[in-house]
Amino acid sequence: MKSFSLLVFFSLAISFSFAQAPEDALRYSYLTQPGGTARNQAIGGAGASLGGEFSSLFINPAGLGFYKSGDFLLTPSLSFKKPNSTYLGNSASATENNFNLGASGFVFGGPTRSQSVKSISFGIGVNKLADFNNHIFYKGTNKNSSYSEKYLEELVNDKVTDPNAAASNYPYGSSLAFNTYLIDTLQAPDGSLNGYRTLANPGTGLNQENTINTTGGITDFSLGMGLNLQEKWFFGATVSVPFLNYERTASFKESDASANANNNFNYFEVNESLRTKGVGINAKLGVIFKPVENVRLGLAFHSPTTYQLTDDYTTEVITDLEGYGGAGVKRQSSTDLTNGQPLESKYNLTTPWRAILSGTYIFGSNLEDVQTQKGFITADVEYVDYTSVAFHDVSNDASAADYYNNLNKTLDELYKSTVNVRLGGEMKLNTFMVRLGGAYYGNPYQSQSSDVVKVTGGVGYRNKGIFLDLAYVYSMYKDVDFPYRLQDKPNVPAIIKNNGGNIVATIGFKF
């Protein structure tokens, strides 16, 4: 049922010039890269109750209330990814290395003359919430289905009986396959149209391969404030504006595995290009309470992010049918049918809300003096409801509103709420620190398996107003990718295991 509804809505997206899919919603919502300082990442990204750490601006702004002076810091990082894929029993691998800028900015804090409000602090900074730079490749031999069958389903679902409509009304789907003869008509004995067929025959085996390259990310710009009440209660609020940029190029190729040079099929290739840009807004509220000097308890709430996004999408089909329909390779792009213009879609996306419960225990005595602190252990438990993600129409068009309503129902069928856990600790050796941590990000799918596990560690140095931190984050990421989906056949995903490391450094100055 879930596969059926997904395909119906995907067909509608092509028919009504909408290109959004459930995968888009999860991509911009499943944020497993905290992107904080090197110190924060070395302790697994936990920090909703720690306080006095610049990453509080993005996790729990109540932590800003611990500041009584100012900080300036920069956090560059370098990632090393090696995605491995398994598809139809075959394995493949790729590599991808990227440079990023993590949590960087200023915090200004100082005491007040108030008897109740001991200090006020303000923070301003940028943070990398998501890194979309990746390269995925997988291949296998399929004897059960063909990518081209989704074009047949599109024509059947819309009850297309006019070949002229098949040739022109679906510039981002079956029209391209029809005009390059990959999809052809079936005729009744009287010569009338009796349906459509694909020249790609899975019965004789089809070699399939998919190459996906993605770039971009989500960069967050945040302004926050923290209050210190009687050194017991700390409150904070942050307003964040995330800037989203995503580009995806995909090339799916299907070729004849039978080596028969006379069956009217050699190969076809589908090339797609998607570019998404936009900006969003959200708020974060938090509180930290110190029941005793060694214990800190934190609670943070992240509102949904509301994005205004624009997609530009193009696709083309290339076929070699061994002379069927004319000699040579045939090619047609969506821009051939749209006056050279890409499909442009403007829409809003609302991502899930998040709630974080956290606790920290600090070792040492006379903790008002940070020099006497011996270390800490801290943990975050985060709840995320992925069923609350939703697309929204901005065009006031009835067909668009219906499409997005149905798509949102599909999101409810595919995704679920989940719990993420982050844990870490630090041991102080005078001016040097040693840190360890880890994190687990739960499965957002209802019927598929996916999760992220991180193992982290690092060192730090603080002396005379200068601090230097270095962290290493090793991530073990498991996800799925469907090259295509059909209504009446099993849909086989590629299993993606994207393990890799991230080296993070922070240099900062107190003032």
Q: Please give the pLDDT value at position 19.
A: 64
Q: Which of 483, 316, 386, 276 is nearest to 32 (CA)?
A: 386
Q: Please give the pLDDT value at position 373.
A: 76
Determine the Cα–Cα distance for residues 280 and 378; give it in Å rounded to an integer.
30
Contact at 8 Å (CB) between 347 and 392? yes
Mean pLDDT of 128-136: 90
Q: Which residues contact 316 (CB under 8 A, 6 or more apart)?
A: 176, 270, 271, 331, 332, 333, 334
How much of the chain exceeds pLDDT 90, in percent? 66
Per-residue pLDDT band for 18 (boundaries 50, 70, 90) equals low
- Tokens 């510039």 — which residue? 171
- Tokens 């450094």 — which residue? 505
pLDDT digits (tens, 9 = 90+) for 52-78: 999 999 999 999 999 989 999 999 999
Q: Please give the pLDDT value at position 13.
A: 46
Q: Please give the pLDDT value at position 255.
A: 96
Q: What is the pTM of this model?
A: 0.89
pLDDT digits (tens, 9 = 90+) for 352-411: 999 999 999 999 876 666 667 789 999 999 999 999 999 998 888 777 788 888 888 888
Determine the Cα–Cα distance for residues 293 and 284; give it in Å rounded to an integer.
26
Q: Please give the pLDDT value at position 16.
A: 45
Residue type, 237: A
- Buried b / exposed e over 403-430, threshold 16 CB at 10 Å, is bbeebbebbebbbbebebebbbbbebee
Contact at 8 Å (CB) between 337 and 164? no
Architecture of domain 22-146+216-247+273-308+346-510: Beta Barrel (2.40)
Q: Please give the pLDDT value at position 1.
A: 33
Q: Residue 31: which H helix or E strand, with range?
A: none
Task: Return the DSSP state at 268.
Answer: E
Q: Which residues contact 371 (CB under 8 A, 6 or more apart)?
A: none
Q: Which residues contact 190 (CB under 8 A, 6 or more apart)?
A: none
Determine the Cα–Cα distance for residues 470 and 502; give it in Å rounded to an integer.
11
The phi and psi torsions of 164 (rounded to 5 degrees) equal: -65, -35
C-alpha distances in Å from residue 240, one per residue of 49, 105, 210, 343 = 20, 14, 36, 30
- Boundaries of every domain in the chain: 22-146+216-247+273-308+346-510
Helices (H), 286-427: 398-414
